[in-house]
Structure 1
């Protein structure tokens, strides 16, 4: 049985980023306004491994997909 909870905090941890709610809010504030034509994994602020993880999560409709979708939405408003 998989015991990982696929939250936004855990997504940031998986990406190797500070994952406290205030860290997440700060990251989103810094990188907000991602253009509509840019896919989340194409954003210039990801490392290659982070971008690949995000791309795989979406393409494979993995357990992380919902958290990635939430992050994508927050980066666009």
Structure 2
């Protein structure tokens, strides 16, 4: 049996090089939401190219990060 680690918003924000305390995460979501439905999360204008690549890879490869990336996507959609 393969054990997949669970990643939360704090770890995702750390991976993206963003402040990862609870207040900073809330502020980020409040600032950037709502993300229009026609814009894919990695294509949002507020990501740097490396951040966008990480988000795209996390989904494409169904990586350990895919679930929390999907949760961030949902949070940004409102």
TM range (shorter): over 0.9
What are the superposed Cα offsets for residues 41-74 of structure 1, whole Å, 9 maximum, x if unpaired? 0000000000000000000010000110000000
Cα distance in 1 for partners of 2:52, 2:40 equals: 10
**Unpaired runs of 5+ in structure 2?**
none
Show the counterpart of 1:48: 49
| In structure 2, C-alpha distance between the alignment counterparts of 1:68 and 1:5, rounded to whole Å | 12
Residue in 1 aligned with 2:31? 30
Q: Which runs of 5+ in 1 are unaligned?
A: none
Q: CA RMSD in A?
A: 1.5
Counterpart contact for 2:58–2:65, Cα < 8 Å: yes
| Runs of 4+ with deviation above 4 angstroms | none
> Structure 1-normalised TM-score?
0.93
CA–CA distance in 1 between the matches of 2:16 and 2:44?
14
C-alpha distance in 1 between matches for 2:21 and 2:33: 18
Number of paired residues?
A: 76
